[in-house]
Amino acid sequence: MKLLGHGRRTATLLALSICGNLALGIVLILRHYEQESPKQTDRADDCARLGPEFIPWAYSALQWCEARPESRLAQLLPNTVYLAFDGTALARVEFVDEDMNVVREITMSDRHGRPWVDVNLQDETLIYSRYTGQWETDPQVSLRDEDGDGIPDVMVNWELKRSFKRSEELKWARIDSK
């Protein structure tokens, strides 16, 4: 895999950077919700508010949940944990195998539980979804980076039901007068 012509080391650094940024994002989201919430809920209650198929995954400062092993969700998304807050899944982390040491995909959601950023570490795609209003369940626009360089390659306008591909390299123009 070549990334901007620099090879495997650049790809590894990019993957680590993305994971670090996502972890920072999760911490910032948690801090925001902690300040807004007047009460702390019990971990098991928070997982149960996601649905009856959720149970606490690990006992830590974060409220991680997993699907009950016998549930349909566990069959559809095995080796997956969810970061819950106040009955909303703010992040989903899918691992490659049952050891849960290697991450396959990370999805961060907004405060309404809608997918916001999805990073697939297997094929290096990033998908950013934007919504028109706070109650819309479907995104208005999704931007997809297919080659892992951090620059969107495809835009899907879900309202128009049309896809657009970037036609040229990005060009930067100076905006100050100096």
Domain residue extents for the chain = 8-165
**Rounded to an integer, what distance in angstroms lies between the CA atom of residue 13 and that of residue 81?**
25
pLDDT at 74: 92
pLDDT at 5: 47
Residue with token string 């400062």:
61
**Rounded to an integer, what distance in angstroms lies between the CA atom of residue 128 and that of residue 60?**
29
User: % helix / strand / coil in the chain, to the nearest 5?
Assistant: 25, 30, 45
pLDDT digits (tens, 9 = 90+) for 119-149: 998 888 999 999 988 888 899 999 999 887 8
Asked whether the beta carbons of 126 and 135 are under 8 A apart, the reply is no
Please name the residues in contact with 71: beta carbons below 8 A apart, sequence gap of 6 or more: 53
pLDDT at 31: 65
Q: What ranges in 2-55 are assigned the alpha helix state H?
A: 8-36, 43-50
pLDDT at 142: 94
Residue with token string 């928070």:
46
This prediction has a pTM of 0.63
Residues of the chain with pLDDT under 50: 1-5, 38-41
| Beta-ladder partners of 83 | 64, 91
